[in-house]
Structure 1
Amino acid sequence: MNIDMLWTLIILAVASVLFVSGKVRSDLVAVCALSLLVMLGIIDTNEALAGFSSSVVIMMIGLFVVGGAIFQTGLAKIASGKLLQLSGSNETRLLLTVMLSASLIGAFVSNTGTVAVMLPVVVSLATSAGVQTGRLLMPLAFAGSLGGMLTLIGTPPNMVISETLEKAGYEPLTFFSFTPIGLICLVAGTLLIALFSKWLLKSNDQTGDISQKQRSLYELASQYSLGNNLYRLQVSVNSPMINKTLKELSISSEYRVHIHEVRRRQSNKNPFFKTINTEFAGPNTMIHVNDVIYVTGEFEDVARFAADQMLELLAENAVEKDANGKMESLATPQIGIAEVLIPSNSKHINQLVKHSGFRENYNVNILGIQRKGKYLLHELKEEKIKAGDALLIQGEWKHISRLAQEHEDVVVVGQPAEAAANIPLSHKAPLAAIIMILMIAAMIINVVPAVVCVMVAAILMVATGCLPNMEAAYKTVNWESIVLIGAMIPMSTAIEKTGAAAMISEGLVNSIGGFGPIALLAGIYFATSLMTLFISNTACAVLFAPIALAAALSMDVNPVPYLFAVSIGASMCFAVPFSTPPNALVMSAGKYKFIDYVKVGMPVQLLLGMVMVIALPIVFPL
C-alpha cells in the first residue's frame, strides 16, 4: 500500500465518520476532503475541479430548474391529484404508487431524470395527502434505480456489461435481456424499501417560521370574508365605461363599490402562450371591452352598478370553490394581498383611510380593517385608523415589498417577496408539460446527450415564462446537493488513481473464488456493491466487469450471471446520499441526514443483494 493510497483511505474514513455524525454540513465535509486531496498532491487542481464540470452535476442543476418550473406552474399539483385519485390517501398505497410509477419511467429514462421529474409531483402529493414528504422521497430515489434494471438503457452499467460480453465473443444483450431479473429486483426491492422506510426518522414539518408569522393568501381571504364580497364583472361592447379612466367614472362615491383590479387577455393566438394581464386599479386605469373587473361591495350595490354600466356579472362570487372546497387564487404573480399592523406610535392613528396616503404613496388599496376581532369591509374611506388595527391591503407585489422596507409606521406581516414567488403560473402548466415530455422523449431516443436535453429544457422553462425569471431559476437549485456531488466525484478519482479500488476488488474476488461458483458470485456482487458507495456506478462497472469475466472463465462457468451481478451491484446503491445523483436530489427536500440513508439504505442494499445472489443462477444458470 503506497502513501497516497493510505492518505486517501484515511480521508475517506474521516469524511464518512463526519457524514454519519451529522454535526458538520455534508457539503462542507466534502469540500474539506477535496481540499486535503489537492494539498497532499494525490490529485491535481484540474482533477479536483473536474467534478464541478461533470455532466452529472450540470444535469442536476438543469433538472432542479425543470423541477422548479413543474412546481411553479402547478403541473406538479395536477399530476399529484391524478396519483392521489389512483392511490387514495393511505400511506402504503401512496408509497407503492410512487415507487412503481418511478420504476416504470426509470426503465426508459436515467434515474436522475426520473427522480427530478417525479420529485415536485411527489412533494405536492405528500402535501395533499397529509403524509410527510420524508416518507416518500427516499423510496422515490431508490425506485428510480430499481427501474433502471428493467431495460438495457435503464442505467449505464447495463451497457457496460453488454459491451464486455460482446468483446469477449458472446451474444450482445438485447433491450429486454434485463427484464426477467429486473422484475425480480423490482419486486424484492419495492417490498424491502416499503418495509425499511418505516425506520425513517420523521422529517421536520415542511412549514417553517414564515408560516407561523404569515397566513397564506387563502387564509387571509377567508378571514376577511373576501369570497363573500368580491365579484367579477365583464365589460360588454355597449358599456359606457369603455375607454374611460376610473378617475372619470367616480364609481366609489356613486355606487359604494370598490374596484380592485382589471384583468384582460393579451393574446389568444396560441393557447399555450396566452397570458392574462392583471392591472392594479388606479385612477388612470382605462377600461376596455371584455375586461374583467374585480369589485367588492354589497351584492345589491354591485348588481345596480352592473346594470347601469352594462356589465355582465360572471358569478355571484368572484372566488369560486372547486370540488375540494378550496378557493381559487386571489392573487397573481403581479398583484397580491398582505396584512399590515398599525403600531401604537404610527402617524396614521386617527387618520381617515382616504387621507392615509397608502394609495397615493405606495399604490396599494386597503380592502378591509380588522379591529378587536371585527372586520370592516365597506365604506372604508371614512373610517379612522386606530392603534392595533390590522389592514388588509392589495397592490402589486413590488409595491407591497417597498411598503415593508420603507414605511416606519406600519408592520407588514410575513414576506411579500416569498409570497409572490409562490403564486402558481397555472396558465403555463400545459407548456411546462410539453417541455417536460419532449425532454423525456429526447432522453429516450438518445440522439443528443442527456445533459443537453436537460439544459435545453431548463432554458425553455425560463424563456417561455414557466419560471418568472433567472433569479427564480437559480433559487430552485439546491446548491448543497450540487457541491456535495461535485466535491465527492474527485474522491472516486483518487480511489482509482491510487490503486485502492483495484486492490480492494481483486483481493475480495481472489480470496472468495476458491469456495465455489456461488460464493464467487456473492463475492463479486457484494464487492461491487461496496465499491459503488465510493465511486460512480459506471466506473464501478468498468472496473469489475473484466474481473468478473476473467474469474468466471477461470472457473469454467457461464459469465453472464457474474456480469449481471456487477451491473446490479453497481446500480443498487442506497446506503449513502452522494453515491447517486437521485439520492442527493431528494436529500434537502426530504430533510434527510446522512444517517437516514445508512439506517434505511444499508439493510435494503444488503438484503436485496442476498435475493439477487439466489435469483441470478436461477434466471441465468451457471
Structure 2
Amino acid sequence: MTATLIILALTVVMFIIGKIRADIVALCALTALILLGILTPEEALAGFSSTVIIMMVGLFVVGGAILQTGLAKAVSQKIMKLAAGSDTRMFLLVVIVTSAIGAFVSNTGTVALMMPIVVSMAVQSGTQPARLLMPLAFASSMGGMLTLIGTPPNLVIQDALTAAGYEPLGFFSFFPVGVICIVTGIVVMLPLSKKFLYKKKGSGKHNSGRGKTLDDLVSEYNLSNALRRYRIKQHSAIAGKSVAELDLPGRYGLSILEIRNESSDRSGLIRNVTQSLASPESILTAGDIIYLTGDTAKMSQFASENRMEELDNNSIDFYDIGISEIVLMPTARIIGMPLRKSGFRERYSINVLGIKRNNDYIMNDLPQVKLQSGDVLLVQGKWSNIAQLDDDETDWVVLGQPEKQASQVTLDYKAPVAAIIMLLMIAAMVFEFIPIAPVTAVMAAALLMVITGCFRNVEAAYKTINWESIMLIAAMMPMSVALEKTGTSALISHSLVSSLGSMGPTVLLAGIYFTTSLLTMFISNTATAVLMAPIAMTSATEIGVSPYPFLFAVTLGASMCFASPFSTPPNALVMHAGEYTFSDYIKVGLPLQIIIGIVMVFALPLLFPM
C-alpha cells in the first residue's frame, strides 16, 4: 500500500510540474508498479486492450474525418451564425449543445463528435481553441447527468437501488440534477476560462509562420481570372481525342492543366471526384471538366468551336491536386533556360501556373519565359509530387509545408458520406434495440470513414490519432487496479465516511461526494461508483434516511471529476488539442468540481428529501 501511494504521489507531482510529457510520466508509473510486483504484467497492460482505449482510437479517426470532409466547418458556421460574433454566446452554445448531445451519447463520443467542430469554430472566429475545448469536455460530463443512460455511474446507482428493493429511477429522474450542474458549470467556467485558458505559450502558433494559405495563393496570382473551367458536352468534337491531338499550345496558345470528372448518385448528395494532370496521352471524354490557362479570348473561341460549357470560376477546389510556391536558388541548373525545357512536367508531373519576379507576376506565354535566380514559381500537381520537390534542395526551396497544406484541404464532396456514417454510429450507441456494442459501432464507423474515402489516404487517418492521450489513459487505468488490490481505495472510502457519519446527514452527504470525487481522480468513474454505491447505501440506512440523495452524490462525484486530465477520457481527449497542462485542469476544473459539490450537497435533499 505504501509503495502504491508513493508512486501515485510522485506521478501527480510530475504531472503538476509538467517538465516531462504526461504519457511518459504515466508509463514510468506503470513500469514501477510492475517492477515492484504490485501489478502483474497482464494487469498492467490490460489498459491497452480496454474498450475505452479502442473507442478513443476509433473516435479520433471519426472526428478526423468530420474535420477532413469539411462537415465540422459547415456545422460550426451554423453555430457561429447563432453566436452572432459574441464570444460569450459562442461559449454558451458550445456548452449547451454539447450537454444536450451528452445526455444521450457517451461523454467520450460526444467530445470526439464536437471537438473538430469546436476547433473549426475557434479558428474561424479567431478564438484560441483552448478557450472552448476544456469547457467542451466538462459539458459532456455534465450533460451525462440529464438522463439515466448519460453516463455509466447513473446505471450503477440504479442497480444499487433496485437490488436493495427501492423504487427504480426513471429515464429523466436525473434531469433536474443535470440542469443544476450545467447552470453551475456555466456560471463558474465562463470567468475561469477567460482568465486561465488563454494560452500565452505558443499562442498564435497556428498562425505565425504558417506560410500562405491556398486561398492566399489563388488571390495573389489572380488564378480565378487566369484559369477557366469548361465541361465537355455530349457530341463535342474533342470527346475521344487525346490532349496531344488537340495541339492547343500551337493552335490557340492554350494549355490544359487538369482534367476532372465528377459523378453523383440519384439523390445528388453523394459525389465522387477524380482528378488528373493533363498529359499528352490523356483522353478526353464527354462530361470531363478541363482547366484551361492562356488568353481568355482564345479560350472562349476554343470552347465555342468545340461545344464546351463554361463553368463558374468563383472558387477553385483543391483535393488530390494542389498548388504551392518554390523559389529558384542561384545555383539551380535551370537558370537561363526557358520554362518549357525545365523538365518540371517530365520529371515531377508538375505544372507551372505563374512566375513571380520581384513584384511582377508573369502569367502568359510561360513556356517561353527564361528562368532567373530568385524567381518564385507557382506550381500545381499532386500533393505527393509537390512534396517530392523538397528532395532537390540544391535547385530550389519549397515554400510552406505541402503535406500540411494537403491535410488541411477539405474533401467537401465527401461531407454527406461522413455525416451518414456519423449518424449511424450515434444511432447504434443510443438505441438499445440495435444489437451492436458501442465499441463495435465506433470501430465500424472509423473503418467506413477510411474505406469510403473521407480521408485522402490511410496515413491521413492514422495521423488524426493523438497517441499521447491514448498512452496517458491506457497507462493510468491500471493504477485503479493497484489501489483496489492493495486495499488503499477501500481504506480511504470507509475511514472518511465512517468518521463523518456521526456529524449528521448533510455532512455525511458532503463526505460521500468529495470522497467519490477524490477516488475518481485516480480510478475510473465507473469503478469508483461501484465501490462507493454500497457504502453510500449502507451509510444512509444506518442513520435512517433515504438513500436517494446519497447515491446521487456518488454518481455526481464520479462524473463531475474535472481536476485531472486522466480522470475521464474526455479530459484526456482535449488535452493535446488545447495545449493544456496539468495545472490548467487544477485552475479551472478543481474550483468547478468543488463548487458543484457544495451546490449539490444543498440541492439534493431538496430534490430527493431525506
- The TM-score bracket by the shorter chain reads over 0.9
Gaps of 5+ in 2: none
- The number of residues matched between the two structures is 607
The amino acid that maps onto 1:41 is: G
Identify the match of residue 241 of structure 1 among 212, 221, 238: 238
Tell me the residue number matched to 1:33: 29
> Matches of residues 337-486 of structure 1 in structure 2 within 5 Å?
337-406=323-392, 408-446=394-432, 447-486=435-474
Residue 91 of structure 1 and its aligned partner are, at CA, apart by: 1.1
Residue 74 of structure 1 and its aligned partner are, at CA, apart by: 0.6
> Matches of residues 145-164 of structure 1 in structure 2 within 5 Å?
145-164=141-160
Tell me the residue number matched to 2:590: 602
Indicate if the aligned counterparts of 1:577 and 1:587 stay in contact, CA closer than 8 A.
yes
Tell me the residue number matched to 2:502: 514
Distance 2:124 2:207 in 1: 20
Residue 584 of structure 1 and its aligned partner are, at CA, apart by: 0.3
Indicate if the aligned counterparts of 1:272 and 1:428 stay in contact, CA closer than 8 A.
no
Task: Give the alignment's TM-score, normalised by structure 1.
Answer: 0.95
SS in 2 for 1:589: coil
The amino acid that maps onto 2:385 is: H
The amino acid that maps onto 2:483 is: I
The amino acid that maps onto 1:257 is: L
Residue 512 of structure 1 and its aligned partner are, at CA, apart by: 1.0
Tell me the residue number matched to 2:481: 493
> Are positions 1:331 and 2:328 aligned together?
no
Gaps of 5+ in 1: 321-327
Indicate if the aligned counterparts of 1:213 and 1:413 stay in contact, CA closer than 8 A.
no
Tell me the residue number matched to 1:62: 58
Identify the match of residue 232 of structure 1 among 229, 232, 250: 229
> Are positions 1:567 and 2:563 aligned together?
no
Residue 416 of structure 1 and its aligned partner are, at CA, apart by: 2.2
Distance 1:26 1:534 in 2: 14
Distance 1:597 1:28 in 2: 19
Residue 134 of structure 1 and its aligned partner are, at CA, apart by: 0.4
Tell me the residue number matched to 2:283: 286
Distance 1:165 1:492 in 2: 25
Residue 329 of structure 1 and its aligned partner are, at CA, apart by: 4.0
Residue 506 of structure 1 and its aligned partner are, at CA, apart by: 0.8
> Are positions 1:504 and 2:492 aligned together?
yes
Residue 247 of structure 1 and its aligned partner are, at CA, apart by: 1.1
Indicate if the aligned counterparts of 1:537 and 1:570 stay in contact, CA closer than 8 A.
yes
Tell me the residue number matched to 1:254: 251
> Are positions 1:307 and 2:286 aligned together?
no
Distance 2:406 2:277 in 1: 15
Tell me the residue number matched to 2:96: 100
Distance 2:191 2:316 in 1: 39
Distance 2:188 2:64 in 1: 30
Bigger Cα displacement from structure 2, 508-517 vs 271-280: 271-280
Bigger Cα displacement from structure 2, 176-185 vs 101-110: 176-185
Indicate if the aligned counterparts of 2:105 and 2:430 stay in contact, CA closer than 8 A.
yes
CA offsets per residue over residues 358-389 of structure 1, 9 Å max, x none?
Answer: 11222111111000111000001111100000
**Pair 1:330–1:371, CA change in 2 (3 A):** farther
Tell me the residue number matched to 1:325: none
Tell me the residue number matched to 2:272: 275
> Matches of residues 104-183 of structure 1 in structure 2 within 5 Å?
104-183=100-179
Tell me the residue number matched to 1:541: 529
Residue 267 of structure 1 and its aligned partner are, at CA, apart by: 5.8
CA RMSD of aligned residues (A): 1.6
Indicate if the aligned counterparts of 1:96 and 1:190 stay in contact, CA closer than 8 A.
yes
Bigger Cα displacement from structure 2, 183-192 vs 587-596: 183-192
Indicate if the aligned counterparts of 1:196 and 1:604 stay in contact, CA closer than 8 A.
no
CA offsets per residue over residues 489-537 of structure 1, 9 Å max, x none?
Answer: 0011111111110111111111111111111111111111111111111
> Are positions 1:297 and 2:284 aligned together?
no
Distance 2:34 2:182 in 1: 40
**Pair 1:352–1:207, CA change in 2 (3 A):** farther
Tell me the residue number matched to 1:555: 543
Residue 207 of structure 1 and its aligned partner are, at CA, apart by: 6.1
CA offsets per residue over residues 41-71 of structure 1, 9 Å max, x none?
Answer: 0111000000111111111000000000001
What is the percent sequence identity of the aligned residues? 52
Residue 210 of structure 1 and its aligned partner are, at CA, apart by: 9.2
Distance 2:265 2:498 in 1: 70
Residue 176 of structure 1 and its aligned partner are, at CA, apart by: 1.0
Indicate if the aligned counterparts of 2:15 and 2:582 stay in contact, CA closer than 8 A.
yes
**Pair 1:205–1:260, CA change in 2 (3 A):** farther
Residue 265 of structure 1 and its aligned partner are, at CA, apart by: 2.6
The amino acid that maps onto 1:354 is: R
**Pair 1:536–1:470, CA change in 2 (3 A):** same
Bigger Cα displacement from structure 2, 179-188 vs 546-555: 179-188
Indicate if the aligned counterparts of 1:350 and 1:384 stay in contact, CA closer than 8 A.
yes
Residue 268 of structure 1 and its aligned partner are, at CA, apart by: 4.0
Bigger Cα displacement from structure 2, 459-468 vs 15-24: 459-468
